[in-house]
Amino acid sequence: MTETIEANLPSLEEVFESFEFLDDWEERYRYIIDLGRQLPAFEDTLKTPEHKVEGCVSQVWLIAYPDREEAGCLHFRGDSDAHIVRGLIAILLTAFSGKQAEEIAAADGRALFDKLGLGGHLSPSRSNGLFSMVQRIRTLAAAHVAEAPAS
């Protein structure tokens, strides 16, 4: 698990720029799916109930792991059995991976997807799953903060 997603995916700013450049939602969906294809491999041994995100229609797994060099910094990895959901995971990981756990735990994932305009273009079940993923990331970050030794 030494590979971080930051090495494979565009920056969040590049994602926003691509969304602005792509005029129609068909192209944006293809872009989201392409982002999902760029996720690092997620080993089957990590696809356990412990890592599964509840509240998603698709199968989704997310894990967090600390940065080896920067205290309090977390990285995330994830996978799904659905192509579009893998792309949504890629956007989430781009947004949250490599940040401080406190910042992640306090983040507003809904604002991120509102900025991309996804709210009105996802089915209700996919939107619910998306926010379940955001909540899982925030919960993992909050657990890391709680486990961190007091300074």
User: pLDDT tens-digit profile of 127-141?
Assistant: 888 899 999 999 999
Does residue 2 surpass a pLDDT of 50?
no
List the structure tokens of 141: 């970050």
Q: Is the pLDDT reported for residue 1 higher than 50?
A: no
Q: Of 86, 88, 104, 84, give the one whose Cα is nearest residue 96.
A: 104
Catalytic residue among 15, 32, 56, 95: 56
pTM of the model: 0.90
Q: What is the DSSP letter of 58?
A: S
What ranges do the domains of the chain cover?
5-147
Contact in structure between 127 and 55 (CB atoms under 8 Å):
no
* Catalytic status, residue 56: yes
Residues 6+ apart with CB under 8 A from 76: 5, 62, 63, 64, 65, 92, 93, 96, 97, 137, 140
Q: pLDDT tens-digit profile of 33-69?
A: 999 999 988 999 999 999 999 988 899 999 999 998 8
**Of 89, 19, 9, 106, whose CA–CA distance to 51 is shortest?**
89
**What is d(CA 100, CA 107) in angstroms, rounded to the nearest whole number?**
11
Distance CA(5)–CA(69), nearest Å, equals 16
Kind of pairing, strands 73-80 and 99-100? antiparallel
Instruction: Determine whether domain 5-147 maps to CATH 3.90.1010.10.
Output: yes
Counting Cβ atoms within 10 Å, is residue 105 exposed (0-12), middle (13-18) or buried (19+)? buried
Query: Is the Cβ–Cβ distance between 133 and 88 less than 8 Å?
Result: yes
